Amino acid sequence: MSDAKTQKTALVVSAHSADFVWRAGGAIALHVAQGYRVHIVCLSYGERGESAKLWRKGQMTEAKVKAARHTEACAAAEVLGASIEFFDLGDYPLQLDNEALLRLADVYRRELPQFVLTHSLKDPYNYDHPRAADLAQEARIIAQAEGYKPGEPILGAPPVYCFEPHQPEQCDWKPDVLLDITSVWDKKYQAIQCMAGQEHLWEYYTRVALQRGVQAKRNIGITAGRDIIHGEGYQSLFPRVTENLA
């Protein structure tokens, strides 16, 4: 049983309200299962750029699209076992300013996460994604500064991982971590199914999970005995500090 004071936490910074599901749903469910509290920040609902199916229904307004996306994202977060909040900053383009930056820094100060998940640093198909990653990185730095809201407990140096973009090679994204999510795949797929507006992506990201699973197995060696079926890839932005290289 975990205690609020000592429970480990993780933070996910998602540009649009569904990104955390496709790209980090496995990591979220896995760490929740390990006793972590995982908190998700959705910077926007992706109402303009990631809701094509909803708009095609007709009779839509931005408010209706946002409400639908809100409902879907909350349902997915619940399946995964994470808490979620929405900054509702608008998308295409994602509207970031100093206020959004400090608001996210305050989330860091409140959550004091052990690690952070966010977007890739580059994405020629989606300018909101790298912008979110930049915000996540800079807010983390501000939360580390003694001179920002002096007196508050400051953030340590949690590792930051970039989750997988839609077309990984075009984003110069190269995974250096393969996370074994086999044990929580059913939860991730259940969360994926909450995204009624983007059904065309369900099978795409199922295949992504299977490919990363095969690759994970290759990188431990076929004789390792551990059966990995589903995986998620991550690219880390900082060196890992450790006492063991195996």
Give the one residue of 81, 110, 159, 190 binding its own copies; rule: CB under 8 A.
159
77 or 94: CB nearest its own copies: 94
Minimum distance of its own copies from residue 170's CB (angstroms): 7
Considering the rule CB under 8 A, would residue 63 count as an interface residue with its own copies?
Answer: no
60 token code pair: 């839509």
81 token code pair: 């076992």
DSSP 3-state assignment of 115?
A: strand
Considering the rule CB under 8 A, would residue 219 count as an interface residue with its own copies?
Answer: yes
Give the one residue of 42, 68, 79, 178 binding its own copies; rule: CB under 8 A.
178
Q: What is the CA radius of gyration of the chain?
A: 18
Residue type, position 61, single letter: T
Considering the rule CB under 8 A, would residue 93 count as an interface residue with its own copies?
Answer: yes
In the block, tokens 């790209």 appear at: 23
Binding to its own copies in span 115-154, by CB under 8 A:
115, 117, 124-127, 137-138, 141-142, 144-148, 150, 153-154
In the block, tokens 């340590």 appear at: 156
Task: Report d(CA 160, CA 114) in Å as an integer.
Answer: 9
Minimum distance of its own copies from residue 185's CB (angstroms): 13
CB 199 within 8 A of CB 214: no
Return phi, psi of residue 111, to 5°: -85, -30
CB 32 within 8 A of CB 80: yes
Task: Report d(CA 23, CA 10) in Å as an integer.
Answer: 15
Looking at 14-22, 72-80, 186-194, 201-209, which segment touches its own copies (CB under 8 A)? 201-209
Considering the rule CB under 8 A, would residue 185 count as an interface residue with its own copies?
Answer: no
Considering the rule CB under 8 A, would residue 56 count as an interface residue with its own copies?
Answer: yes
4 or 240: CB nearest its own copies: 240
Minimum distance of its own copies from residue 182's CB (angstroms): 9
197 token code pair: 């507006």
> How many residues make contact with its own copies (CB under 8 A)?
91
Considering the rule CB under 8 A, would residue 29 count as an interface residue with its own copies?
Answer: no
